[in-house]
Amino acid sequence: MIVVDRVTKIVVEQRFGVPYGPREIIDHVLFLTVTRNAGAAFGLFQTFTLGFLLISAVVIVGILIYYWRLPPHDWPARLGLALVLGGAIANAYDRGVKGSVIDFIQVPHWPIFNVADSAITVGVAVLLLGTVWRGGRPRPRRA
């Protein structure tokens, strides 16, 4: 995940430059719009780079601690946490090295995002679905 994010950002930055676009990729559905984002989602808090790095560090450590405590068969939680971890590391790397992240995927009515953002979003969705799925099973009774 981290490698895919880095490669896509490098290719987009070198091939198209920053800023670039919007360029329609799929008719009215997907656009290539290259921009730098020093803030969080939706471009909020543009001057909080150090704060985002500290938050990322805490999240990364928390995920690693929690991940090793999960039962081996809890694949939704493991997959979800791995996706969130990969996305957090990838975006933290960009913030630490470049001071911002490159966003380049644009769909209508949504802020521009990148592969790491997608991994975080999908990871959280997998965690939520896994929680709902586990919640529907009967729990073993304790004597």
Of 27, 74, 94, 103, the catalytic one is 103
Active-site choice (27, 74, 94, 117): 117
Half-sphere exposure of 142 (CA within 13 A, CB side): 0
Q: How far is CA 120 from the centre of its chain?
A: 3
Cβ pair 81, 128 in contact under 8 A: no
Catalytic residue flag (residue 103) = yes
User: How far is 123 from 105, CA to CA, in rounded Å?
Assistant: 18
Q: What is the pLDDT along the chain (143 residues), one digit of tens a residue?
A: 899 999 999 999 999 999 999 999 999 999 999 999 887 665 666 667 788 889 889 999 999 999 999 998 999 999 999 999 999 999 999 989 998 999 999 999 999 999 999 999 999 999 999 988 877 555 555 55
What CA–CA distances, in Å, run from 106 to 21, 37, 40, 89, 95? 10, 13, 16, 22, 20
Reported pTM = 0.86
